[in-house]
Amino acid sequence: MDEFFDQFFPTEFLIEYLENGPEENMDRFQTYVVYRFLTFAAKENPAVITELRDTLECPLSMDNLSDIYRFLDQDFYFSPSFSENSFDPVLLCYAIAIIDDKSGFGLAILNRIFKEACPEISSVDFSNVDVDLELLLQTEVQFYAALAICSIHYSTLIALLPKFAATYMEDLHFTCEDFILYDFMDEYFETKNCSANPAFQEMTDTLVLATLQSFDTDLENFTLDGLFQLKHPAGRFAAIYRSGAIDMKDLPVPADAAVLMKHILSYAAAYELRNNLYDYHLDEDKTITLTNWKENLKWHYVQYTNVYNLALSSFVAACYSRKLLQKQFEENLRELNY
């Protein structure tokens, strides 16, 4: 495998994420790969979508939008973007329903779609760890069908992950920026899955709080303050409004906005931290660790500004994206006669 693609399929991280994380990590990974399989299968054969509608015991409504948001918000990994004018939001709902269905009925339907979309993959014995995946997997549908089958039959998944990495194509990448960010953090702090480490979470939470305090605000009031500043004619994001941005008075409700903003602020703080760990405001011949950061990490105003601006622009983009997602989901339901 070309080293360039290591960032797109981080085998070691996936093993750590699945084996040592909470139980829901496996459900999330399975949901993600089933969703990716369904999107590629539907591109080749749109009838996959109506087949799922007619066979899955999963009647959809606008209430399912909360299922989509819950999946996207669960952690920084495996949060896909949706293709414009596609049925991607509906397919994510179906993937969630298939993995959540403990009766096995959803998996039976999925197996039927495997056989229809790529019979050559559905007939493979993946318990044979010597299987030649590089020869077998030539298309996106085949790749995600095989990965989904192995994720459902977990006993062989870990052994085959390096072989999946060897067949990986750039177009198949996961949300790679998050992997790159936290892979760096794992390496720097010499710990695995640092984003789940309480000391790392305390550090980023502290940086988020310090950022807000530097602007004389807190999480509960930051959203309204931030949006007010954005609407100022001289604001750094004024071009957004001149481009015909959606009015955000009712989007989202304050409680939801605070949750979304905290998620985005934590990411912005981690991103800025990564940019400066090696050489910015650090004492000579010292590094930051998860035990000494309270004494040694110097966090100055320029970094507050970077975190604040990144979080603010990301928040606005996220709100617009959710509005567009809602519109696309409504159109999907209408086309499927829900």
Give pLDDT tens digits for 162-176. 888 888 776 666 655
pTM for the whole structure: 0.83
| Residue 336, domain member (yes or no) | no
Domain edge (last residue) among 174, 205, 233: 174
Q: Do residues 108 and 204 both lie within one domain?
A: no
Domain span at residue 304 reads: 176-324
Of 174, 199, 224, the domain-final residue: 174
Residue 330 lies in a domain: no
| 246 or 145, greater pLDDT | 145
Residues 114, 226: one domain?
no
pLDDT tens for 83-125 read 889 999 999 999 999 999 988 899 999 999 999 999 999 999 9
**Which residue in this structure is represented by tokens 């994720």?**
151
Judgement on whether residues 237 and 134 belong to the same structural domain of the protein = no
Q: Are residues 195 and 291 in the same domain?
A: yes
Query: Which of residues 174, 199, 217 is at a domain's end?
Result: 174
Whether 168 is covered by a domain: the verdict is yes
pLDDT value of position 269: 93
Work out how many domains the chain is built from and give that number.
2
Judge if 150 and 221 occupy the same domain: no
Q: Is 74 in the same domain as 17?
A: yes
Locus of tokens 């499927």: 336
Residues 51 and 113 sit within 8 Å (Cβ to Cβ): yes
Task: Look at residue 184 in the predicted model and tell me its pLDDT.
Answer: 85
Looking at the structure, tell me whether residues 166 and 243 fall in a common domain. no
Query: How would residue 68 be classed by pLDDT, with cut points 50, 70 and 90?
Result: very high
Q: Which residue has the tokens 């050559």?
A: 120
Sequential DSSP letters for 88-99: HHHHHHHHHHHH
The pLDDT tens digits of the residues spanning 292-318 come to 898 888 777 778 888 988 888 888 788
Under a CB-based contact definition with an 8 Å cutoff, are residues 307 and 269 in contact? yes
